Copies of this chain bind each other. A is one copy, B any other.
Amino acid sequence: MTAPRPRRTTLKRVAERAGVSLSTASLVFSGKGPVSEETAARVRTAATALGYRGPDPVASSLRAGRSGVVAVVVESPLTLALRDPYAVQVLDGLADELGRDGLGLLLLAQDPHDLDELGARTATMAMDAAIFPFCGPSTNPLVETLAGRGIPIIGSGAPEDTRVTHVRVDEAAAQGLAVRHLLELGHERIGHITLPLRPHATTTGVQAMEVEHAAYPDARERARGFLALVTGPVVQAAAADVTEGEAAARLLLGLPEDERPTAIVAQSDLLAAGAIRAATSLGLRVPEDLSVTGFDGIDVPWLDQTLTTVDQPGAEKGRRMGAMARAAIGGDAPIATSYDVMLRRGTTSGPPKRLRPRFPSL
Contacts from A to B (Cβ < 8 Å): 1-8, 51, 53-62, 64-69, 72, 77-79, 82-83, 85, 88-89, 91-92, 95-96, 99, 102, 104-109, 117-118, 121, 123-126, 128, 145, 148-150, 241-243, 246, 273-274, 277, 301-302, 315, 329-331
Contacts and interface: CB of A to CB of B under 8 A. Distances in A.
Contact of A105 (B99, B107, B123): B107
Contacts of A108: 104-105
B109 A95 contact: yes
Given A4-B64, A106-B105, A107-B95, A124 B54 contact: yes
B83 A85 contact: yes
B105 A58 contact: no
B125 A104 contact: yes
Contact of A149 (B53, B68, B89, B105): B53
Nearest to A110: B99
A2 B330 CA distance: 5
A194 to B, nearest CB: 19
A6 B150 CA distance: 9
25 contacts: A2-B329, A3-B330, A4-B66, A5-B329, A5-B331, A8-B150, A53-B123, A53-B145, A57-B125, A58-B67, A67-B126, A68-B125, A72-B107, A77-B92, A78-B92, A78-B95, A82-B91, A95-B109, A99-B118, A102-B124, A104-B108, A104-B121, A126-B126, A242-B302, A277-B302
Contacts of A301: 241-243, 246
Nearest to A3: B331
A190 to B, nearest CB: 24
A54 B331 contact: no
A83 to B, nearest CB: 7
A295 B92 CA distance: 25
A307 to B, nearest CB: 13
Most B CB within 10 A of own CB, among A2, A89, A150? A2
Contacts of A92: 77-79, 109
Contact of A62 (B2, B62, B78, B79): B62
B57 A124 contact: yes
Nearest to A82: B88
B273 A302 contact: yes
Nearest to A89: B79
A78 B88 CA distance: 7
Contact of A58 (B58, B118, B150): B58
